[in-house]
Structure 1
Amino acid sequence: MTHKQRRTIFYHNYTDDIVTLAHQDYQLPSKYRYHHSRLFNIMGRLLQNIVRMVISPICLWILHIHIKNRKILMPYRNKAVYIYGNHTAPLGDAFMPFRISHRLNVIVAPENLKLPVIGPLLPMGGAIPVPNTIHQYREFLSSVDDSIHQNKSLFIYPEAHVWPYATIIRPFDGTAFRYPIKNPAPIFCMTTTYQKSRWHKKPKATVYLDGPFQPEPNLNSKQQQEQLRNIIFNQMNQRSKLNTYEYVKYVKH
């Protein structure tokens, strides 16, 4: 890997928030509603189609995102799948799912709903915010269930916090892998790697898709979660070896 980085970021833990928003501590209101209506879904599909058309040239010409191995998803075009990804691009990770799937949901942190202009539109665009209370958790899980039952792609970033241009895969636990145990569907991962751009200061991003993966049927649910976590983590680590440019260097403080 080329080590001519342009910036060094110091961190204490892998769970540090490197990118902070103005409403970083925002929590969902106690009466927040997770929408399930047919009309909401129809409007959401329309909005997703518009977003897809708008962001396609942005991903290619501004963010320099190239997706490899997309063909493995072709047999699942109209089927439910889970797609886990490393979290290394605030804008790219928001746009990338629209380049990969034509019907989708994305699990997001609640502070994203406070982003100027686009924040209120995110749920209709497919965002499912993580709840803050146990009382909201049932509706959250219902939205996750709906995503699978409606044959959508559900995108999940198990690292939780975005680390821009990170070339390492940060450790994550098996919590995010309980969803495919409860509602089985093929599981994939997408790993973003970075290479030096010939024409631009910022690196180009190459995203590799891998899968499908399935839990081992002879294990109990807890063991299956851990097994899936290990499969995805190991696959991402293998792909991360394809990073060739360290635009940002992360150093433990």
Structure 2
Amino acid sequence: MAHKEQRTIFYRNFTDDVVTLAHQEYQTPANFRYHHSKLFALASYLLQTIVRIIAAPLGLWIMHTRIKNKVILKPYRNQAVYIYGNHTAPLGDVFKPFRIAHRLNIIVAPANLKLPILGPLLPMGGAIPIPNSLHQYRGFLNEIANSIDHQKTLFIYPEAHVWPYSTIIRPFDDASFRYPIQNPAPVFCMTTTYQKSRWHKKPEAIVYLDGPFYPDENLSLKQQQRQLRDAVFNQMTKRSKLNNYEYIKYMKR
């Protein structure tokens, strides 16, 4: 998997943040509001349409990303679903969802709101920032419920921090799998793998979609949450074996 110019990143824990942003510690402001006005909805629709138009050529020709097995989502085109993915591309993970879904929301870290130019537009583009306090958490959960009620696709990166070009699936907890239990909808996963390119120094990204996964209603709510997490983690781990190019090597200190 290795190559002669391979870069190595050292980590202590799978929860380490290996990408440092200028506003890394930025938190969702106490006065942050989720907008639901008709004007905001129209602006959001227009912005998402524009992003969707540019996402395909950008993904194919610039980011060299291909998406496999999209057909499994066809029966769910007009209903809400959850899609969980591994977090391996700072920019690619922003545009990937727009090549998969027509109406969407994406749960993001608050630091993304401070990105130059793009940051202030992210909520209009469908981003739902993670709250900073229990006071904000109710609004956050309401926004998730609103996304499902409006038949949107909700994208979640449960690994939390982005590890560029990582070929491993980092262990993640089951906290975000509470959402499909509280607001039921089919669960899918997308696994980004990296393949050696014949034409480029950087690898090609091939994204595999799998699912749907459903909770076993005979289990307790907490057990359902863990069951969904395990189903998604195991499937993503299985797909990760298709990686054949380690552009960046991650080593534990």
- Tell me the secondary structure at the aligned position of residue 164 of structure 1: coil
Listed as ranges, the matches of 1:22-41 within 5 Å are 22-41=22-41
Post-superposition CA distance 1:65-121 (Å, at most 9, x none)? 000000000011111000000000001101100000010000000000000001000
- Tell me the secondary structure at the aligned position of residue 193 of structure 1: strand
- Tell me the secondary structure at the aligned position of residue 44 of structure 2: helix
Conserved? CA contact 1:80–1:153, under 8 Å? yes
Q: Which moved more, 1:221-230 or 1:29-38?
A: 29-38
- Tell me the secondary structure at the aligned position of residue 165 of structure 2: coil
Confirm whether residue 132 of structure 1 aligns to residue 132 of structure 2.
yes
Conserved? CA contact 1:36–1:143, under 8 Å? no
- For residue 98 of structure 2, what is the aligned residue in structure 1? 98
| Superposed CA RMSD | 0.8
- Tell me the secondary structure at the aligned position of residue 67 of structure 2: strand
- Tell me the secondary structure at the aligned position of residue 33 of structure 2: coil
Confirm whether residue 175 of structure 1 aligns to residue 175 of structure 2.
yes
Structure-2 separation of matches of 1:130 and 1:36: 18
Structure-1 separation of matches of 2:195 and 2:23: 32
Structure-1 separation of matches of 2:149 and 2:43: 18
- For residue 161 of structure 1, what is the aligned residue in structure 2? 161
1:55 to partner: Cα distance: 2.2
Post-superposition CA distance 1:177-201 (Å, at most 9, x none)? 0000000000000000000111011
1:20 to partner: Cα distance: 1.3
- For residue 43 of structure 1, what is the aligned residue in structure 2? 43
**Length, aligned pairs only:** 252
- Tell me the secondary structure at the aligned position of residue 83 of structure 1: strand
Post-superposition CA distance 1:194-213 (Å, at most 9, x none)? 00111011000000000001
Q: Which moved more, 1:31-40 or 1:65-74?
A: 31-40
Listed as ranges, the matches of 1:1-253 within 5 Å are 2-4=1-3, 6-253=6-253
1:37 to partner: Cα distance: 2.3
Structure 1 runs, 4 residues or longer, greater than 3 Å off: none
The letter of the residue matching 1:168 is I
For structure 1, the residue ranges without an aligned partner over 5 or more in a row are: none
Post-superposition CA distance 1:126-146 (Å, at most 9, x none)? 000000000001111111111
For structure 2, the residue ranges without an aligned partner over 5 or more in a row are: none
Kindly, what percent of the aligned residue pairs are identical?
Answer: 70
Structure-2 separation of matches of 1:46 and 1:74: 23
